[in-house]
A and B are shown apart, each in its own frame.
Chain A
Amino acid sequence: GAGVSQSPSNKVTEKGKDVELRCDPISGHTALYWYRQSLGQGLEFLIYFQGNSAPDKSGLPSDRFSAERTGGSVSTLTIQRTQQEDSAVYLCASSLARGMSYEQYFGPGTRLTVT
């Protein structure tokens, strides 16, 4: 069956421009997570959505970052006024439900390069 998909797979943008990254979770998965992996760094949590509950935004590095999830399915991560330190691979994951017992399925990621 279809896994988590992300688009674009690669994005090169100029410093100061806004970018939107898209995530299509597995159908029926109510929990959706965004992570970031900077070059040579480990993975870090950004934000997660669970159903209709308010998202947990505690991992967002600055107010230039925002995310929304429409209709409980597709999610968009927006970075405004991009900076070079935003360059990273942005990963999306989904799981059947919220909770430590549920496996997270990862998308292939979007590689963002800010020049």
Chain B
Amino acid sequence: KNEVEQSPQNLTAQEGEFITINCSYSVGISALHWLQQHPGGGIVSLFMLSSGKKKHGRLIATINIQEKHSSLHITASHPRDSAVYICADPTNTDKLIFGTGTRLQVFP
């Protein structure tokens, strides 16, 4: 059983829609990573957050440490947002445990 669970697994949206991806984790106690993997395979770190909310452009990440739950929101989605979004739990030892990812496709 994966200790990091994401939902949904697949998501399609029309350009401009508001998108939410959820992540539940079980081990880490103080932080969570959100990563983006483009169709070419490259991985980019989007956020690393330990409390509250972080915003970067149209991306917003929130976390509830007590409930071990985080959400990634994309406002005014665009086709270039199409990618796999992965949350990762750094556990307590720096080793990331990854969720299975959410594949997002945004259509014009």
Partners in one complex: yes
> B36 to nearest A CB, angstroms?
10
Contact A45 B50 (CB under 8 A): no
> A47 to nearest B CB, angstroms?
9
Tell me which residues across on chain B come within 8 A of A42, comparing CB atoms.
2, 86, 98-101
User: Max chain B CB contacts within 10 Å: which of A45, A56, A108?
Assistant: A45
User: Which residue of chain B has its CB nearest to the CB of A105?
Assistant: B45
- Range of interface residues on B (Cβ < 8 Å): 20 to 34
B48 located at the interface, meaning its Cβ lies under 8 Å from any Cβ of chain A in the complex: yes
Tell me which residues across on chain A come within 8 A of B93, comparing CB atoms.
56
B97 located at the interface, meaning its Cβ lies under 8 Å from any Cβ of chain A in the complex: yes
> B40 to nearest A CB, angstroms?
8
Contact of B31 among A35, A44, A100, A106 (CB under 8 A): A100
> A37 to nearest B CB, angstroms?
8
Told that A42-B99, A101-B50, A104-B96 touch, could you supply 9 new A-B pairs with CB distance under 8 A?
Answer: A35-B96, A42-B86, A42-B101, A45-B95, A45-B96, A56-B94, A98-B94, A99-B94, A106-B35
Q: Chain A residues in contact with chain B, CB under 8 A?
A: 31, 33, 35, 42-45, 48, 50, 56, 58-59, 89, 91, 93, 98-106, 108-109, 111
Q: Chain B residues in contact with chain A, CB under 8 A?
A: 2, 28, 30-31, 33, 35, 41-45, 48, 50, 86, 88, 90, 92-101
